[in-house]
Amino acid sequence: MQSLITCVLIIAFISPCLCHRWNVGTQNTIYNVIDFGAVGDGKTDDTQLQGVIVAPTKDAWVEGNLNTLIMISNVNGLTIDGSGGLIDGYGSAWWACKSCPRPSVLIINSCNSVSVTNLNMINSPKSHIHVNGCEGATFSHINISAPGDSPNTDGFDISTSKNIMIEDSTIATGDDCIAISGGSSYINVTGIACGPGHGISIGSLGKKFDTVQEVYVRNCSFIRTTNGARIKTFPNQAVEVSDVTYRGIHGTSLDGRAITLDCGESGCYGIVLDQINIVSCLTGKSASCFCNNAHGTATATNPNCTCLLP
């Protein structure tokens, strides 16, 4: 029953969030989901998020409250079926100032047992979906798009989360398709068409003690990505990266390095590269693999990663 209730409440989460961006006071306002079409009879499907949500213009945002367009926090058993609906972050007005605070489109914070499917997102001012402090979340059939030169528009940012699945989705942005940050483990990424964009990355890690473990990236394609498969850590920092697998990856790279395993002094262990074929899309150029203190194995991998340590 909890799952049904939280599904109905998604309208209540979205509505005050959007109103607040136009500086409409919502702290003491009650939103009745019945007024938005919910029935709540235990039979009717009240869970659909359809149509188009467009973020307000930059000038309409409340100063000092630039974190996110939609925030979902401390909810268990939530299901969002976008039914092909679209969220437009209206990010073009924000991108010129790369150092300015900018909002994400959707932040899911401290939630467990979450399912998000059949949703389209475009043009976030910053990251499109940020998953933080969650356990047990599945994202499938998510289409994310932003121009290739839009700054910091990651498709997914995953931090301090466990048992996260991202599958069967298309991501084309100006930054990482998927970025996995510290405190994350058992992250499964499969069936992703990534690019243009930076690629599927672990890091950057090391601004504080960070651990990332048990990451599996399988059966994905890279389309004119600049980094491809990447692990990146800051030098001289305490970082623990282990048991990371890239398997069944193919595509094209815009950069000389299609695979980057930059692990710093702490090293990365248990790296597995298998059945990878990433080629340069630049005439006369070859893709390469770079390693720094990375330990693991590479089989049937192009570019050849002989730099991996045992």
CB-count burial class (<10 Å; 0-12, 13-18, 19+) for 242: middle
Asked if residue 40 has pLDDT above 80, the reply is no
Matching residue, tokens 């990433």 = 278
Q: Which CATH class is domain 47-302?
A: mainly beta
List, for residues 187-213, the tens digit of each pLDDT value: 999 999 999 999 999 988 867 778 999
Share of the chain above pLDDT 70, in %: 82
250 is catalytic: no
What's residue 266's pLDDT?
Answer: 85
- Return the domain boundaries, the chain: 47-302
Query: How confident is the model over 236-253, as a mean pLDDT?
Result: 91
> Which position among 20, 130, 198, 295 bears the catalytic label?
198
